[in-house]
Amino acid sequence: MSERSTIDSFFTKFTSSVDEIELPQKFTFPFFYSPHPLSMRAALQLQERLESEGLGHNFGLENDGEEGALGKMFGVLVVKNKDGELGYLSAFSGKLGGQNHHQGFVPPVFDILTEGGFFLKEEEVLNRLNREIEAIENDPQFRFAIEEYNDERLTADVELKLLNDAFKASRKIRKAERASMEGMTDLEVTEMQERHRLESLTQQFEIKAKDEYWKNRLEGFKEKVVQFSSRIEAMKNERKLRSGALQQQLFDSYYFLNSRLEEKSLADIFQKGGLDQPPAGAGECAAPKLLHFAFKNDLKPIALAEFWWGLSPSSEVRKHKQYYTACKGKCEPILTHMLEGVDMDANPMLSGPEAGIEIEVVFEDDHLAVVNKPADLLAVPGKNVEESVFTHMKNRYPNATGPLTVHRLDMATSGLMLIAKSDAAHKSLQRQFIKRIIKKRYVAVLDGEVDKTSGTIDLPLRVDLFDRPRQMVCEEHGRAAVTHWELIELKEGKSRVYFYPITGRTHQLRVHSAHPQGLNIPIIGDDLYGTKSNRLHLHAERIEFIHPLKGNRMVVQIDAPF
């Protein structure tokens, strides 16, 4: 097959004219973007194919309760070929239907499933070791040896305990006898002390002899167990060494191209970022596959978009047909290398808000202030952006003592924040937060209609280690997160609700709103868990607290700007 025919099998032409769509001036910044119209056209065309073809994978669209049903992330990369024609490439993350290759989808950067390749050969060795370990662990003789040893050890523990208990009881008797020596002659006392000494020595000797007996006896039973367990341990050590070597060989064999056709291995990319080794699945996402194929085949990248197709994982928030940015933990180091030299949209997270932003002070006295934080302003300085509520307050109250900010709001969330002007006020308000004395009410507009009027959402949360700051539901390692909610109004297919957070976890209201086990409807404008818009429609509109010095209960409220 010629090089041109190979490219043509992956280069998909648009089925309708795109002449009316203006090309983007720069390539998509993959970690924060709104899909370009060309990307959306390509995605819709791919989605039409997915609707008609199963591709050997159960996406859970027809029966989401079916075992094994799960959606998949897909990506499209609009490209221009040597002839100046516009088209797009398609890719999926990981495997699809247990395979790396499907017609019309770009291949993986490195195919671990290549027949006769080192990965499959070594994987078979690891599988053989697993089978041998399992066979020994299930060997009836091994199980009998363990049971026999445990039975003997239990018998030994019982016998030794009886002897020790008898010794303690005798010692109490001897102590009582010594306490009643009054009226005894010196000879009688001496005889009693000698009798006590001999009794104690006899019992101690008996305990020591029995303990020695059981140590020797148990050693024989333990040896039978060790004969099996040492073989298992040796094979597990071999498996660990082989698995580590295989993983390292895999990382060293994964090479990614950039626009300058410079190669860099997966291992080198992540070591440069200060990590010992890449996380599992790194390099298997759609975006690296698409860009690698484009650079390798002299196709010019124009615009990128990734979308979710099918049922959401139980721990994450993934909506069918929703567009998502590239993950940071696995993809950011790789794409940073791959996009070197590409004229790309600026990272909006590196720039602060517009100049001249003002923060409204809703209430203040000598001890505290309540301010209305605008949307898209940090509560405290970030890694790349200094401007924040804190910096504004520091300038406004230069003589204030203490940390000023008592609590935080997400950057995208607007609304009321407490500001303490003194250490005493700060400590009092912080204590009120810890004891949950402070009550907060948020108002939000959801991108859909809820089917109840109120309820409580209890979903523990933890950070997604591979895609910070995104949060995920985790029953095992998550921290408790509880939210009460109440419907205010249904209008034009949207829901206006009150949220009453009992806990204060990062992105709690956003995840509880969007997650399938929560309200299953994202907040309008949520660029992480829903669809990006002009702003996040979430506002902290009411706060109740005890004045830190005066002691009276205060209620401050300000209406949402949406």
Report the CATH number that the domain containing residue 432 is assigned in CATH: 3.30.2350.10
Q: Do both 468 and 396 map to the same domain?
A: yes
pLDDT at 2: 47
User: Using an 8 Å Cβ cutoff, are 483 and 512 in contact?
Assistant: yes
State the alpha helices, DSSP H only, in 254-351.
266-272, 286-296, 328-338
Q: Mean of the pLDDT values across residues 154-183?
A: 94
Domain around 305: 3-110+264-349
**With contact defined as beta carbons under 8 Å apart, do 258 and 337 qualify?**
yes
* Same domain? 435 vs 338: no
The pLDDT assigned to 112 comes to: 83
Same domain, 397 and 510: yes
How many CA atoms does the CB half-sphere of 367 hold within 13 Å?
12
Q: What is the pLDDT of residue 509?
A: 98
Q: Is residue 364 classed as helix, strand or coil in its secondary structure?
A: strand
The residues facing 27 across adjacent strands are 344
The average pLDDT across 457-477 equals 95
Q: Does residue 349 or residue 419 have the better pLDDT? A: 419
pLDDT digits (tens, 9 = 90+) for 115-131: 678 888 999 999 999 99
- For 166-175, 228-237, 345-354, which range has the lowest pLDDT when averaged over its residues? 345-354
399 and 449 part of one domain: yes
Q: Is 119 part of any domain? A: no
What confidence tens digit (pLDDT) does each residue in 187-241 have?
999 999 999 999 999 999 999 999 999 999 999 999 999 999 999 999 999 999 9
pLDDT of residue 1: 45
3-class secondary structure, 129: helix
Residue 152 located in a structural domain? yes
Domain check: are 357 and 495 in the same one? Answer: yes
> What is the total residue count of the chain?
562
Distance between CA atoms of 69 and 286, rounded to whole angstroms?
20
223, 250, 277: which is the final residue of a domain?
250
- Say how many domains are in the chain: 3
Domain boundary among 221, 250, 279: 250
User: What whole-number percentage of the chain has pLDDT above 70?
Assistant: 98
pLDDT band at 4 (very low <50, low <70, confident <90, very high): low
Q: Same domain, yes or no, for 338 and 393?
A: no
* 166 or 349, which is more confident: 166
Over range 233-251, report the average pLDDT.
Answer: 93
pLDDT per residue as tens digits for the range 20-79: 999 999 999 999 999 999 999 999 999 999 999 979 899 998 866 667 789 999 999 999
Residue 18 sits in the same domain as residue 104: yes
CA distance 147 to 562: 69
Place 297 in a pLDDT band, splitting at 50, 70 and 90. Answer: very high
Residue 375 covered by a domain: yes
Domain membership of residue 129 (yes or no) is no
Contacts of 348 (CB under 8 A, 6+ apart): 29, 32
Active-site residue, 458 included: no
In a domain, 84, yes or no: yes
Cα separation, 113 vs 119, whole angstroms:
7
Q: What is the pLDDT of residue 64?
A: 60
The CA distance from 544 to 330, in Å, is: 42
Task: State how far the Cα of 530 lies from the Cα of 321, in Å rounded to an integer.
Answer: 11
* Tens-digit pLDDT profile for residues 62-112: 866 667 789 999 999 999 999 999 999 999 999 998 899 999 999 999 888
Residue 275 has pLDDT above 80, yes or no: no
Answer yes or no: is pLDDT of 263 > 80: yes
Residue 300: inside a domain: yes
Looking at residue 5, its pLDDT comes to 54
Q: Specify whether the CB–CB gap between 41 and 21 falls below 8 A.
A: yes
Indicate if the pLDDT at residue 280 is higher than 90.
no
Contact status, residue 41 vs residue 302, Cβ threshold 8 Å: no
Q: State mean pLDDT over 526-538.
A: 94
Can you state the percent helix, strand and coil of the chain, rounding each to 5?
A: 35, 20, 40
Of 312, 333, 349, which closes a domain?
349
Cis ω for the linkage preceding 469 (within 30 of 0): yes
Average pLDDT over residues 477-490: 97
Kind of pairing between the strands at 86-92 and 12-13:
antiparallel
The pLDDT value recorded for residue 250 is 86
Q: What is the pLDDT of residue 65?
A: 62
Is residue 363's pLDDT more than 50?
Answer: yes
User: Does one domain contain both 306 and 363?
Assistant: no
- Clarify whether residues 234 and 139 are in a common domain: yes
Same-domain pairing of 547 and 409:
yes
Question: What's the rounded mean pLDDT across residues 533-551?
Answer: 96
Q: What is the pLDDT of residue 221?
A: 95
Same domain as 446, residue 541: yes
Which residue in the list 186, 365, 410, 458 is annotated as catalytic? 410
Is the pLDDT at 273 greater than 80, yes or no? no
User: Quick one: which H or E segment has residue 395?
Assistant: helix 389-396
Average pLDDT, the chain: 93
Indicate if 286 and 185 belong to the same structural domain. no
Helix (H, G, I), strand (E, B) or coil at 417: strand
Hunting for tokens 């990369």 — which residue is that? 77
DSSP state of 349: G
Which tokens in the block code for residue 432?
């009120």
Q: Residue 121 falls within a domain, yes or no?
A: no
Q: What is the largest CA-CA distance in the chain?
A: 122
Contacts of 254 (CB under 8 A, 6+ apart): 109, 110, 265, 266, 267, 283
Q: How far is CA 27 from the centre of its chain?
A: 29
529 is a domain residue = yes
Please, which pLDDT band fits residue 144 given cuts at 50, 70 and 90? Answer: very high
